[in-house]
Amino acid sequence: MRIPRGFSEELRNKADILQVIGDYVSCKKKGANYWACCPFHHEKTPSFSITPAKQFFKCFGCGKAGDVFAFVMEIEGCPFPEAVKIVADKCGVTIPIVSTKEDSKEFEERDRQRAELMQINQWATEFFEQNLTETAEGKRALSYLTQRGINNDTRKAFRLGYAPQSWDAMSNFLRSRGASKTQIERSGLVTLKEQGTGFYDRFRGRLVFPICDTQGRIVAFGGRIVAEGEPKYLNSPETVLYTKGQHLFGLNYSREAIRKQNYAILVEGYLDFLIPYQAGVKNLVASLGTALTENQVRLLARYVRQIIVNFDPDSAGVAATKRSLELLLAEGFKVKVLTLPDNLDPDEYIRSHGSDGYLGLLKRSQSFVDYIVEEAVKSNNQESPSGKVETINAILPYLKLIKDRIERAEHCERIADRLKIDSKLFREEFNKAVDTRSEKISERAVTATIVVKPAERKLLEILLNQASIRRQMMLQMTADDYEGLRTAHIFRLIFKLERQGREPTYPALSEELGDEDMARELLAKLMISDPGDVLEGAAIDQSRLEQVTREAAESLHSLRCTKLAEKQAALQIEINQAQRSNNSARLSELMMLKFELAKQERALAQWNGQEDKEAVKIKKQ
């Protein structure tokens, strides 16, 4: 295809550069110009300027500049002739074609195939629509749509259809419209037989959702099984019009609302898009039921930089959410996450609670860090150092994606507080992991961030140095009293040696500890400390014995109060989360747990008539 001389200049004068660029990025007027975040490099402060009066753009960050054709060539990665065609399509201008021997045959052939497939997709859409409303089989599918809450206006607007349970109905229809065997084979609407020649219809017994590009042209189809069968969802294969992972369902309908509200809601499936859209929530897109891709993220970046991810709350949805967060954060998006209560997806929630309820939850969406932290906390045992290690290592990859150092430091403080570890040491270990590009923090490093409580130290000093009190305390203590403490390993070894009839000496303990730092520093300090005179044989000082015994009991009580307060603080975080998401079932479970912990608290308070000061301090935090 050769563009006639003078046509590109005429088109340049006709084209509205702001309208064309506005299809790719969100622009805001400031003075005589419009400004946007540059689509050609990552930035947070807009430095990309469009001057409509001069039909010119300029990025003051990366230096790229030019007219409307230069912009399209850069962002689409296409040669000048194709950029002219794209601009002409956007402006509704027909290009007069002059054929010469120098025309690119490859470009011509591809362009011809695209035009043919565009027409075949139109025919296929008509076929699916007719089958949905005009056949008995289709009306059963129509009844299913009605049950799922899709009204006629939405069905017509999105041109939903039905593929009959037939091996050749679609291919026969396309032949009747004049499509050749080769064109049908290339359409993606049929599947080639594994043996022999020929093909059969790809979509059978399925509701069909047309998939459009950003200009509203049908480029592919998605099908959902109506009766029994696998797979539940089936999309078109790649064609000259459609490349997997490069389109977002509904974006051609929602992009103006997304620009207007300055954020997008990212959902998974077709109905997760259609039901909210029908209910008036217009600023959303669907990832076509697949994990979000880098190309889809870049497509979203043309329109907005703030995203709320609202995928299904099942295990597959959680995995997809985490993968999406990685891609969105790497591209510089500001991201929040909405997890709907009672394991509902957006489609189900809006049909049950309406759009107002959904919009209310959107306002209370979690930051992505809070979401990742809560998922990691739920998946690991926070009572043990190894569980904290797994938790931190699950959070680490997402924390490293935060570019702003101040914001990252603030999140480190909150995470350390949530996990009850020393924030300074945690920041140091995190920075080491960033500098060394490590994906994990060692258990030793995390254990070192767990603070040794005064009561914990005091109790250990007594257990290590007073045999008679040690034997008495063993009858009172359980593993729950010390598991999760910085010194849990020492407690375990003291009790193990006692059961074996061996004294907990420094050599015996340090040999089995394995953690040389702890053995050399903490254990040595504990062994040297003497809580009182040696209480052995006839020289026992009875009053001193009673005093040290009371100190041991008080230390144990303090630890129990502190651990209970930590459990209550962690439980309150979960309660707040359940309240934010209106998860009534989960909230009921948590309130029962809160009641049980309150009973334990009252029992502990009766020990000396008041709560331990250290526990009260933690609870207030």
Q: Identify the helix (H) or strand (E) that includes residue 466.
A: none
Residue 96 lies in a domain: no
C-beta separation of 481 from 560 below 8 A: yes
3 state DSSP class of 225: strand
Q: Are residues 288 and 434 in the same domain?
A: no
More confident residue, 302 or 504: 504
The enclosing domain of 122 has a CATH number of 3.90.980.10
Residue 467 lies in a domain: yes
Residue 63 lies in a domain: yes
Per the structure, the count of domains in the chain is: 5
How does the average pLDDT of the chain come out, rounded?
Answer: 85
567 confidence band (pLDDT: 50, 70, 90): confident
Residue 610 pLDDT > 80: no
Summarize pLDDT for 3-18 with one digit per residue, the tens. 766 678 778 877 889 8
Q: Are residues 423 and 542 in the same domain?
A: no
CA distance 462 to 558: 15
More confident residue, 621 or 469: 469
- What's the average model confidence in pLDDT over 196-201? 86
The mean-pLDDT minimum among 226-230, 378-382, 412-416, 579-583 falls in: 579-583
Q: Are residues 470 and 598 in the same domain?
A: yes
Summarize pLDDT for 386-398 with one digit per residue, the tens. 788 889 999 999 9
The enclosing domain of 488 has a CATH number of 1.10.860
More confident residue, 242 or 530: 242
The confidence score (pLDDT) of residue 105 equals 64
C-beta separation of 336 from 368 below 8 A: yes
Residue 161, beta-bridge partner list: 208
Among 150, 159, 143, 146, which Cα is nearest to 276's? 150
Residue 310 pLDDT > 90: yes
- What's the average model confidence in pLDDT over 277-303? 88
What is the DSSP track for 381-410? -TTSHHHHHHHHHHHHHHHTT---HHHHHH
What is the value of pTM for the model shown?
0.71
- What's the average model confidence in pLDDT over 117-135? 97
42 confidence band (pLDDT: 50, 70, 90): confident
Q: Are residues 423 and 568 in the same domain?
A: no
The confidence score (pLDDT) of residue 612 equals 43
619: exposed, middle or buried (C-beta count within 10 Å: 0-12, 13-18, 19+)? middle
CA distance 34 to 281: 27
- What's the average model confidence in pLDDT over 224-251? 91
385-399 and 315-330 helices cross at what angle (nearest 10)? 50
Q: Are residues 184 and 259 in the same domain?
A: no
Residue 243 lies in a domain: no
The confidence score (pLDDT) of residue 487 equals 84
Residue 221 lies in a domain: yes
Q: Are residues 221 and 289 in the same domain?
A: no
Q: Are residues 589 and 471 in the same domain?
A: yes
Prior bond to 81 cis, omega within 30? no
617 confidence band (pLDDT: 50, 70, 90): very low
Q: How far is CA 436 from the centre of its chain?
A: 25
Residue 97 lies in a domain: no
Contacts of 157 (CB under 8 A, 6+ apart): 253
The enclosing domain of 305 has a CATH number of 3.40.1360.10
Whole-angstrom CA distances from 130 to 144, 173, 178 are 16, 12, 18
Highest mean pLDDT among 529-533, 551-555, 563-567, 602-606 belongs to 551-555
- What's the average model confidence in pLDDT over 324-352? 92
Of 364, 381, 397, the domain-final residue: 364
Residue 377 lies in a domain: yes
Residue 539 pLDDT > 60: no
Of 185, 208, 235, the domain-final residue: 235
Sheet strand arrangement including 218-225: 161-163, 206-212, 218-225, 233-235
Residue 98 lies in a domain: no
Residue 257 pLDDT > 50: yes
Tokens of 281: 């929530």
Beta strand pairing status for 28-30 and 48-51?
unpaired
- What's the average model confidence in pLDDT over 17-24? 89
100 confidence band (pLDDT: 50, 70, 90): low
CA distance 213 to 296: 12
Among 78, 51, 56, which Cα is nearest to 67's? 56
Three-state SS across 324-364? HHHHHHHCCCEEEECCCHHHCCHHHHHHHHHHHHHHHHHHC
Tokens of 433: 């992991």
Q: Are residues 461 and 407 in the same domain?
A: no
518 confidence band (pLDDT: 50, 70, 90): low
- What's the average model confidence in pLDDT over 251-258? 88
581 confidence band (pLDDT: 50, 70, 90): low
The confidence score (pLDDT) of residue 219 equals 94
Q: Identify the helix (H) or strand (E) that includes residue 48.
A: strand 48-51
Q: Are residues 464 and 604 in the same domain?
A: yes
Tokens of 457: 């130290």
Q: Are residues 598 and 494 in the same domain?
A: yes
Identify residue 208 by its one-letter amino acid code.
V
417 confidence band (pLDDT: 50, 70, 90): confident
CA distance 60 to 49: 8
- What's the average model confidence in pLDDT over 576-588? 75
Of 323, 343, 364, the domain-final residue: 364
The confidence score (pLDDT) of residue 619 equals 42
The confidence score (pLDDT) of residue 208 equals 97
- Owning domain of residue 556: 454-620
Instruction: Please give the torsion angle defined by the CA atoms of residues 597, 598, 604 and 607, in that order, rounded to the nearest 10 degrees.
Output: -160
Q: Are residues 472 and 577 in the same domain?
A: yes
611 confidence band (pLDDT: 50, 70, 90): very low
Count CB-CB contacts under 10 A for residue 411. Answer: 22
The confidence score (pLDDT) of residue 613 equals 42
Residue 338 pLDDT > 90: yes
Q: Are residues 409 and 343 in the same domain?
A: no
The mean-pLDDT minimum among 418-432, 519-533, 549-563 falls in: 519-533
